[in-house]
Amino acid sequence: MSTLEILFYALSAFAIISAVMVLVSKNPIHSVLWLILVFFAISGHYILLNAQFLAIVNIIVYAGAIMVLFLFVIMLMNIKQENEFKKHLLVKFIGVLSGGSFLVLLVSLVKQTVQLQGQKVLLKEGNIGLIHPLGKALFTDYVVPFEISSVLFLSAMVGAVIIGKK
């Protein structure tokens, strides 16, 4: 095992443990903080993939901005464990069923993909996550989807402003 592989497995274990803690934590604030750790682990993976730009943007956007807004909402809602409403048993059952089938679906998809079979993880190779190739790809090959998604964001912003004005 090379150093990179050790790092990979350590990061993966870290990501999975944190993800489990997100679900297990009783306190929603703790869940959000564990989720931030998950993002950090994933950024670590990006760095292993030689995609520093993606790694940093992942931290800035998700861990830095979106999670702060999550914390905002949860802190202001003041959720306590006592006033958590009791879920019906049937609802729980349906939840487990749908979640479980989604997991089965994902696993089967990954298993069916030919490209992923017998492949080792890509470490310290490729350059698509660096800023120059990424910028080139976004503004030449994928310029139409890129612009369309920016229009989508613009409309979302306008909608937010309109809701805020009411």
Q: Is the CB of 60 or the CB of 122 nearer to another protein? A: 60
- CB of 65 vs another protein, minimal distance in Å: 6
Residues that bind another protein (CB under 8 A): 1-3, 6, 27, 29-30, 33, 36, 52-53, 56-57, 59-60, 63-65, 68-69, 71-72, 75-76, 130-131
- CB of 116 vs another protein, minimal distance in Å: 25
Q: Is the CB of 22 or the CB of 56 nearer to another protein? A: 56
What would the two tokens of residue 153 be?
A: 């964001």
Find the Cα–Cα–Cα–Cα dihedral 44, 46, 51, 52, rounded to 10°: -30
- CB of 75 vs another protein, minimal distance in Å: 5
Q: Is the CB of 86 or the CB of 164 nearer to another protein? A: 164
Cβ atoms of 29 and 74 within 8 Å: the answer is yes
CA distance 104 to 98: 10
Q: Is the CB of 92 or the CB of 124 nearer to another protein? A: 124
Q: Is the CB of 22 or the CB of 57 nearer to another protein? A: 57
- CB of 152 vs another protein, minimal distance in Å: 19
Sign of the Cα torsion 155, 161, 164, 166 reads: negative
- CB of 130 vs another protein, minimal distance in Å: 7
CA distance 140 to 134: 10
**Burial class for 42, CB neighbours closer than 10 Å (0-12, 13-18, 19+):** buried
